[in-house]
């Protein structure tokens, strides 16, 4: 459901959702930049993208998609992958860092929700549920291996060089393929599957520390 529909049906939910969505996407992108910096590429830092200032990250098309489709994105943090130390491992870590950050945020929100149920009301439960839900969806969406999503870079990190080149040649069409799949709802089963995987991972984390 797009944000316009939510605004009409639940104005309070809309007000809560906007900053949660905005900063969940920003943390996702900043994580990419920080991971790249750790592996030797300072491009994001030089372009001033290692900041939580929303102005530096808002993408017009991604924002419109958010309002009308319910999925959106921020302006991608620039990364020069060929400057990364240990290219394959660096590519994998930089690509995964955004989704891992969303999963981490969702996990913290669910931990706080459990603490709230035990009597330590640190944050209202509806806000925690929104934070967890948004970040799980963002993590699941970005794990799909279609360019320009992070899943495509994660997949590339495991491919031989010749297959990487062939895969990169598809990137010029990836955005349009992604938009069509989103508008038709064809990606919904894939996103749901990824969400179940993430919920399963979070349950494993909970059981490990229980």
Q: Per mean pLDDT, which of 27-36, 106-115, 167-176 is the most reliable?
A: 27-36
What pLDDT does 181 receive? 87
Mean pLDDT in residue range 66-93: 84
- Please report which confidence band the pLDDT of residue 104 belongs to, taking 50, 70 and 90 as the band edges: very high
- The secondary structure of 143-192, three-state, reads CCCCCCCHHHHHHHCCCCHHHHHHHHHCHHHHHHHHHHHHHHCCCHHHHH
Residue 179 CA: distances (Å) to CA of 48, 61, 69, 75, 146: 28, 11, 10, 16, 11
Taking 80 as the threshold, does the pLDDT of residue 105 lie above it? Answer: yes
| Pair 137, 109: CB distance under 8 Å | no
Whether residue 96 contacts residue 154, with contact meaning beta carbons closer than 8 Å, is answered with yes
Total-model pTM: 0.87
Domains in the chain: boundaries: 3-209
Mind listing the pLDDT tens digit for each residue in 7-49?
A: 456 666 667 777 888 889 899 999 999 999 999 999 999 999 9
pLDDT for 71: 62
Angstrom distance (rounded) from CA 106 to CA 171:
29
Query: What per-residue confidence (pLDDT) applies to 184?
Result: 87
Q: Binning pLDDT at 50, 70 and 90, where does residue 202 land?
A: very high
Greater confidence, 18 or 137? 137
Give 80-91 pLDDT, tens digit per residue: 998 999 999 999
Q: Residue 147 above 60 pLDDT?
A: yes
Q: Which two tokens stand for residue 113?
A: 């929700």
Mean pLDDT of the chain: 85
Q: How confident is the model at residue 67 (pLDDT cuts 50, 70, 90)?
A: low
Which position has the higher pLDDT, 111 or 92? 92
Burial class (CB in 10 A: 0-12, 13-18, 19+), 136: buried
Q: Which sequence positions are flagged as catalytic?
A: 29
Give Cα 66 to chain centroid, integer Å.
13
Report the distance separating Cα 73 and Cα 63, nearest Å: 7
* The pLDDT of residue 75: 86
Greatest mean pLDDT among 23-27, 61-65, 97-101, 166-170: 97-101
* Omega before 12 within 30 of 0, i.e. cis: no
The continuous run of DSSP H or E covering 105 comes out as: helix 87-117
């Amino acid at each position: 459901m797009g944000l316009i529909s939510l605004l009409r049906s639940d104005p309070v939910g809309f007000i809560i959702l906007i900053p949660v969505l905005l900063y969940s996407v920003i943390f996702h992108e900043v994580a990419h930049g920080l991971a790249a910096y750790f592996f030797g590429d300072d491009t994001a830092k030089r372009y001033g993208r290692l900041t939580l200032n929303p102005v530096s990250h808002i993408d017009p098309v991604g924002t419109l998609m958010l309002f009308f489709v319910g999925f959106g994105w921020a302006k991608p943090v620039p990364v020069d992958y060929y400057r990364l130390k240990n290219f394959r491992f660096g590519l994998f870590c930089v690509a995964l860092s955004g989704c891992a950050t969303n999963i981490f945020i969702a996990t913290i929100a669910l931990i706080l929700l459990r603490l709230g149920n035990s009597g330590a009301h640190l944050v209202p439960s509806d806000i925690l549920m929104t934070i967890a839900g948004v970040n799980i969806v963002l993590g699941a969406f970005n794990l799909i291996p279609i360019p320009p999503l992070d899943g495509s870079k994660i997949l590339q990190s495991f491919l031989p060089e010749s297959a990487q080149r062939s895969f990169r040649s598809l990137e010029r069409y990836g955005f349009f393929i992604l938009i069509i799949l989103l508008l038709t709802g064809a990606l919904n089963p894939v996103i749901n599957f990824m969400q179940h995987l993430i919920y399963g991972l979070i349950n494993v984390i909970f059981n490990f520390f229980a």
